[in-house]
Each structure stands twice: as structure tokens, then as C-alpha cells.
Amino acid sequence: MTPEELAAVMEATWPAARVWRQGPFLCRDGAGGGKRVSAASSAGDWTEADLDALDQGLVLIREGETALDRALEARGWRMVDPVVAYAAPVAELNADLPPLSAFPHWAPLAIARTIWAEGGIGPERVAVMERTVGKRTAILARHEDHPAGAAFVALHGKEAMLHALEVRESVRRQGVGANLLRAAANWAAAEGATRLSLVVTERNIAARALYARLGLRNVGQYHYRMK
């Protein structure tokens, strides 16, 4: 998965409220939807004067953008939230799940919204989900007949991307996260997608171990520079 492919699927499946051009940078207003929809990113050749004029105080640095990264670092912009991208063919992730262990639905049920809110995924991020164009779904997972987790999946062409995977603390390490991911892959396959991807912060060791165990592979990385 190239940096350009990753950027395109992220932009489509987790869209900003507003995007505008400032010189060689694309700027975004996420309306509270998180860093990835609130950061500027390079969209062409830039100069030191462009950096001086940049209004946005958060810049997403993709693989290969070493010069931009060093220029911002030299100006005192600090690195925040290194992120790792994972992906795998949906055919490698599909699995038969017990009935009602995880099921897709749209619009998100109130209990899914509650589970997200418990994990810090509030109304502003649900609004990002609602801004997506095209096929999308929420997934609710159950464990021992109780709501246990939620996730969001959206399509961009043949690409599916998983966002906002949240498992209630009381049922972590009991297979709920795996069921959510498998259910996401099952839904994606039924909708014609061929690859499922996701991004996770580098420091989230537990989630990264789960994704690797399920067969997803590290396909890229990025980080932010904050003014």
C-alpha cells in the first residue's frame, strides 16, 4: 500500500468537515473529529516562506517527506502521535462468527454510540462517520449476550478502512476485538472490497499485537508535527 493509496482511503473514509488550499498545503477543519482530519498536509513543492505563512499548527508527515519533517523540526515543531498502518486482503480475514457475536448496521445504534463515548469517541467523531459518502457501516459486538464493542468501516472503491474500534474495558482480551475485525472483513467482502486497512498509534502495543496475530501487515507509517 503506497503512501498515496493510504492517504486517499483515509481521506475518503474519515473526511474533514472542510478542506482548503493554502499555497502548497491542503488544510483541514475536523470540527473536533481528531488529528487526522484537523492537520495540514503537503500537496506540492513548498518553500520556507510557505512554512512561515502556514496558519495551521498541525502537519501530517507521510513517508518520504523527510525534508518537510526536518524543516518543521528545525523550527521547533514537536513530533506527536507516530502512527502505523496495517492492511490485509479481506479474503485472509474472513471468518464464520457465532450468531450475533458482531453484526453490521447503519445508522449506529445508541448502544454503539455509548460504547464509543466510553472510549473517548464522542459525537464529533461520530459526525465524521456520518459525513462519509458511499458504503459504510457500524459494527456492534456482543460478549456473553451483552454489548461489548463497536467499530466503523467505510469503503473507497475496492478499499475498506476500519476506524473507531472500541472494546469495553471489562471484556478486553476475550476475543471481542478480533470479532469486530472479522465482522468488518466479512462486511467488506460482501460489498466487493478486496483489502481492509486501519491505522493505530505506535504506542498502542496491545492493538498492534492483535492486528499482527490476525494476519494484518505493517504497510506504512506517518506522524504529526505540532507547532
Instruction: For each of the domains in the chain, give its residue range(s) and CATH number, in order of start.
Output: 3-84 (no CATH), 87-221 (3.40.630.30)
Nearest to 175 by CA among 120, 119, 65, 95: 95
Order of strands across the sheet that contains 78-89: 18-22, 25-29, 40-42, 58-62, 217-226, 78-89, 195-201, 159-167, 146-156, 136-143, 102-105
| Selected residue with higher pLDDT from 102 and 1 | 102
Looking at residue 81, its pLDDT comes to: 92
- Given a cut of 90, is residue 1 above it in pLDDT? no
C-alpha 159/C-alpha 192 separation (Å) is 9
Report CA 111 to chain centroid distance, whole Å: 21
At residue 2 the predicted structure's pLDDT band, cuts being 50, 70 and 90, is confident
C-alpha 128/C-alpha 126 separation (Å) is 5
DSSP 101: S
- Given a cut of 90, is residue 61 above it in pLDDT? yes
Q: What is the pTM of this model?
A: 0.94
Looking at residue 76, its pLDDT comes to: 97
Looking at residue 151, its pLDDT comes to: 98
At residue 3 the predicted structure's pLDDT band, cuts being 50, 70 and 90, is confident
Looking at residue 93, its pLDDT comes to: 96
Looking at residue 171, its pLDDT comes to: 92
Looking at residue 96, its pLDDT comes to: 94
pLDDT digits (tens, 9 = 90+) for 133-158: 999 999 999 999 999 999 999 999 99
pLDDT digits (tens, 9 = 90+) for 20-52: 999 999 999 999 999 999 999 999 999 999 999
